Structure 1
Amino acid sequence: MIYTHAAAGIAGAVLAGILSWNVQGWRMGEQIAAIQAQHAEATAKAQSDARATEKALSDKLQEAQNNATKRENKLRNDAAAARRTADGLRDTIYALRADLPSYSQSAAAKTADTAAELLGVCADEYRSVAEQADRHAADAVMLREAWPSK
């Protein structure tokens, strides 16, 4: 009879142990599932944030490229207009030089004065453009040097 009670007690203890083990497994399984769900949610949010950041950078880059293309086109048009103007002035100077022998002395002097004045204005403009180009180059170097390096 003692053996029966002992066997029943041992069987009950084993059964209680197995049930406890299963209950703990269920409880831990729920915790693991909750942790996995939190991880999946955090991963999805991080991916969404990364995509948003990448899109913002891509949009900014595209806008900068579009603006650069517009500036390039404007510069080309301005250069073409300047070239046409210079060609017109060159033709005018060649015509003046060809007609100069037929001018009177006062007309020749007036033409020479006008040409000298025009050359003076051109020289001032060239100096101004060179100064602005030097400032721009200095700014570009400063920005390159100030840019953070890895």
Structure 2
Amino acid sequence: MKIIIQEFIAKFYQVIILILLAIILVLSIFGGVQTWRASSLKTDYQLLNAKYKTEVAEAKALTEQAKAEARTKEKEWSDKLLEVEKAHNAKMQEIIIDVNNAKSAVDGMSKQLDTATKRMSTASKETIIEYANTNSDVLKECIGQYQYVAEQADKHAADAKRLSDAWPK
């Protein structure tokens, strides 16, 4: 019986050793797989991190390029606006000079009309008729000029509205 027990104990130890070897083998395989997965994840992380840094650098470069283009466009618009303002101011000076000249001419004509009106009481019938005809011709010319100026003002207003509506918002 002693032999049976010794054989049983020997077989028991063999089975225990085999089980321990199998556990060590499984743990070694599991450890190797985990090491491989960790290495793979680390490589993937490094690739994604490098890609992220590249994309961030590209985005910064594009942002700087857009800022530079915006500054250039703003400078162009500013220069154009300054040029237009100078031209507008020069035109306004011309208009002021023209208005002053027109006022002088109107003042001169007003004085002539006052003088003519004062002389009406002593004028002959033919002179009065000629004066009335001349006044009629002057009024017709004034009406024609008034219509022309009104037409030009309406065209200008339509052009200004078209430009305003077409201007980028």
Q: Using structure 2 for the length normalisation, give the TM-score.
A: 0.61
Cα-to-partner distance string for 1:34-55 (whole Å, 9 max, x where unaligned): 1212222222222233333333
The match for 1:132 is 149
> Taking structure 1 as reference, are residues 96 and 130 closer, same or farther at Cα in structure 2, changes over 3 Å only?
same
The match for 1:78 is 98
> Taking structure 1 as reference, are residues 145 and 101 closer, same or farther at Cα in structure 2, changes over 3 Å only?
closer
Which residues of structure 1 form unaligned runs of 5+?
A: none
Q: How does 1:1-150 map to 2 (within 5 A)?
A: 2=21, 3-95=23-115, 109=127, 120=137, 123-124=140-141, 127-141=144-158, 144=161, 147-148=165-166
Q: Which has the higher contact order (CA 8 A, sep 6+)?
A: 1
Distance in 2 (CA, whole Å) between partners of 1:116 and 1:30 is 95
The match for 2:6 is none
Cα-to-partner distance string for 1:15-62 (whole Å, 9 max, x where unaligned): 222111111111111111112122222222222333333333333333
Which residues of structure 2 form unaligned runs of 5+?
A: 1-19
Distance in 2 (CA, whole Å) between partners of 1:122 and 1:58 is 47
Q: Using structure 1 for the length normalisation, give the TM-score.
A: 0.67
* Identity among equivalent pairs (%): 16
The match for 2:8 is none
Deviation (angstroms), 1:78: 1.0
Deviation (angstroms), 1:82: 1.4
AA of the residue aligned to 1:7? L
AA of the residue aligned to 1:132? V
Q: Which moved more, 1:48-57 or 1:137-146?
A: 137-146
* Greater radius of gyration (CA): 2
Alignment coverage as a number of residue pairs: 147
